[in-house]
Chains A and B, each alone.
Chain A
Amino acid sequence: MSIFVDENTKLVVQGLTGGQGKFHGLRNRDYGTKVVAGVTPGKGGQDVEGIPVFDTVAEAVSETGATASFVAVPPKAAPAAILEAAGAGIGFVVCITEGIPAQDEARVYNTLVRDFPATRLLGPNCPGIISPGKCNIGITPSDIAELPTPDGPNVGIVSRSGTLTYQALYELKQNGIGVSTCVGIGGDPVPGTSFVDCLAEFQKDSETHAMIMFGEIGGSAEEEAAEFITATVTKPMTAYIAGVTAPPGRKMGHAGAIVSGGKGTAQGKMDALAAAGVHVGLNPTEAGELMAGLLKKTG
């Protein structure tokens, strides 16, 4: 098993004829992801290396049975693209677009909650999701993702930052530990999918035996995760929080990574996670090593 996406996921790429969409869409297909369609308004009837392009997501769904969407369009167009996918009945939307205004994100999120509760949005401004050996949607470099082993132990990864997600995959590969699914939830202020959403799925997933979580400064998503872990999670976990030395009031690259009014500090988040029984590393490598150590003990 895995979470959110697997070998049966059928993907439509919104923006397949654009630079990013084509590059990553084809990479995703090369990995084995079932990329069944592309959507670019006005380019219906064309194809990109054999992948049929449609004018609308609705057409793509009715013609190909697509179940998931990969939104790779610029910030101006992304909110409408996400809602179009939801309106066409797509259940899982991955949006990698960076730079969407926060007001648009808040509107899209609340519209999905109200009008399309069956649709889950991952991102925006995220690297995407990979269930190794089954499906890769987004920009994660797949060759550093270790395949899960039938008997385990396998680890689920959830992270706000893209490069730290890769770092986590790499650490596990170095240690020969399999990955069930690796989810990058993105660094924006209003992510469609939260740490809690992912941890809940990992906790239920029989193929996942432990979880690594990489957070960063800003907001309270890590503190909410800590509460959830205390109440619900029984699988072993390690974590790392980036931004211990970040100056207050400055956005550290990610729109959501900011310590404001003394809230959202790395220390506060690390303390909350440690109190929830999570083993917290002081750097990404340490979080990986802690996980390797935990699995040796339990495995």
Chain B
Amino acid sequence: MDLFEYQGKQYFGRFGIPVSAGGVAETVDEAVAQAEAAGYPVVVKAQVQVGGRGKAGGIKLANDADEVRQHAGNILGMDIKGHRVDRVWVEQASDIDEEYYASFTLDRAAKQHLLMLSAQGGVEIEEVAAKDPDAIVRLHIDPVDGLSRETARQAAVDARIPERAVDGVADILMKLYRCFVDGDCDLAEINPLILKPDGAVHALDAKVSLDGNAAFRHPEWEEYDKTEVLDDREQLAKEHDLQYIGLDGSVGIIANGAGLAMSTLDVVNQVGGEAANFLDIGGGANADVMAAALTVINHDENVRSIFVNIFGGITRGEEVAKGVVEGLRRVELRAPIVIRLDGTNAEEGRQIILDAGIPASKLISKPTMLEAAREAVRIANGGEGGA
């Protein structure tokens, strides 16, 4: 789960990482109030989870209430690369001497934590990596040992951070590491990390991505649910507790298992179609789960056919078949289902579907993944059902 900048800064605040005084606003009046509280001059920043906000006109300096009113008015509701701006973050403007970069992630290949630190901040780190790879210090940290202050300080020295900023940077690295580990982040990044004329080091931006698997020990994360960027379909899926990702195509997908669901998207694509979604109904595929899945898919106006791709393992074919038949009874579908049922007790499952006497205009059974994909795509691309 990715946090907005303002949420990231508030999260940093929990771990003592210094950020600028400021507040979030959803209206122009709120923005002015936040500016008054923070003290002028202020920066008004669009809150969207996409890069390039500044270039798009989403970050503006304001010296008084009129300017805040003007900029907040322009920025709120703005479209930045397909993301609508619903909130701005208004914070006290900072004097900047230098800009650095710092982040912690998990290096999956090394199976250790990775610190990346550079004296060249304020630009995309990928750009620095391409132009001047030596300017980035990459340091692996054993998760059992954790990060020591000595190591953090040495990393700052190695990154050629100037002497007067080394202790301040090391201090923030220690706190950012705690945020990364105890805060269960997939990514904790500060870019830019700034040095002010008075020698203070300070996080001017915050990029935080949380590990959803750790939500059980972070009740405070609940507030992020409200601002998570989900489309209607994804919201509905979440309410039904389904693993769903909305896409742009016309073939609705229901599969059991993440790998098979991914594979189903691929096969649909290979035979000339486009998937409307990713949906993994997991191991169990009883009538309730199937009905919920069909309800979510049915909500998508672009769907022209529904490809149900099930490989029976522990979940037996007849259980899945019963689920589909019952689901069809409960939900009036906008598009026909093409089902491929394979694996354990698939024969029995197909017989149940046959015996249910559902017309071929609503439900078509195909023996293999490839044949079913072809049929689903044929219908989605304008062919008649029931072939």
Contacts and interface: CB of A to CB of B under 8 A. Distances in A.
Interface stretch (A30-38, A154-162, A201-209): A154-162
A192 B81 CA distance: 39
A148 interface: no
Contacts of A220: 108-109
B313 A284 contact: no
A106 B143 contact: yes
A189 B106 contact: yes
Given A243-B266, A285-B368, A110 B108 contact: no
A143 B109 contact: no
B343 A170 contact: yes
Given A76-B216, A144-B343, A162-B259, A111 B144 contact: yes
Contacts, number: 164
A132 interface: no
B34 interface: no
A200 interface: no
A63 to B, nearest CB: 30
Contacts of A7: none
B356 interface: no
Contacts of B259: 159-165, 187, 214, 216, 242, 253-254
Contacts of A240: 263
Contact of B109 (A103, A219, A243, A282): A219
B144 A107 contact: yes
Given A114-B144, A190-B111, A253-B280, A166 B343 contact: yes
Nearest to B243: A253
Contact of B143 (A107, A217, A256): A107
A246 B213 CA distance: 21
A129 B240 CA distance: 32
B365 interface: no
A76 B217 CA distance: 9
Contacts of B343: 141, 144, 166-167, 170
Nearest to A167: B311
Which of A160, A170, A240 gathers most chain B CB within 10 Å? A170
Which of A161, A164, A283 gathers most chain B CB within 10 Å? A283
Given A76-B216, A245-B266, A161 B258 contact: yes
A139 B314 contact: yes
B267 interface: yes
A257 B257 contact: no
Interface string A155-193: 000011111111100100000000000000001011000
Contacts of B5: none
Q: Chain B, interface size: which category?
A: 35 or more
Nearest to B244: A253
A100 B262 contact: no
A102 interface: yes
A167 to B, nearest CB: 6
B113 A217 contact: no
Q: Chain A, interface size: which category?
A: 35 or more
Which of A107, A220, A242, A245 gathers most chain B CB within 10 Å? A245
Contacts of A19: none
Contact of A163 (B212, B267, B313): B313
B269 interface: yes
Contacts of B270: 282-283
B322 to A, nearest CB: 18
Contacts of B269: 244-245
B245 A75 contact: no
Interface string A232-254: 00000000101111110011111
A45 interface: no
B66 interface: no
Interface string B96-128: 000000000010110111000000000000100
A61 interface: no
A244 B111 contact: no
B245 A101 contact: no
18 contacts: A101-B184, A101-B214, A102-B106, A102-B211, A103-B106, A106-B111, A110-B112, A110-B143, A139-B283, A139-B313, A140-B313, A141-B344, A144-B313, A144-B344, A190-B111, A221-B108, A242-B263, A283-B270
Interface of A: 75-76, 99-103, 106-107, 109-111, 114, 139-141, 143-144, 159-167, 170, 187, 189-190, 214, 216-221, 224, 240, 242-247, 250-257, 261, 266, 282-285
Given A144-B344, A165-B259, A253-B278, 8 more contacts: A75-B213, A101-B184, A139-B313, A141-B313, A224-B109, A246-B262, A253-B243, A253-B261
Interface of B: 106, 108-109, 111-113, 126, 142-144, 181, 184, 186, 211-214, 216-217, 243, 245, 247, 255-263, 265-270, 275, 278, 280, 283, 311-314, 342-344, 368-370
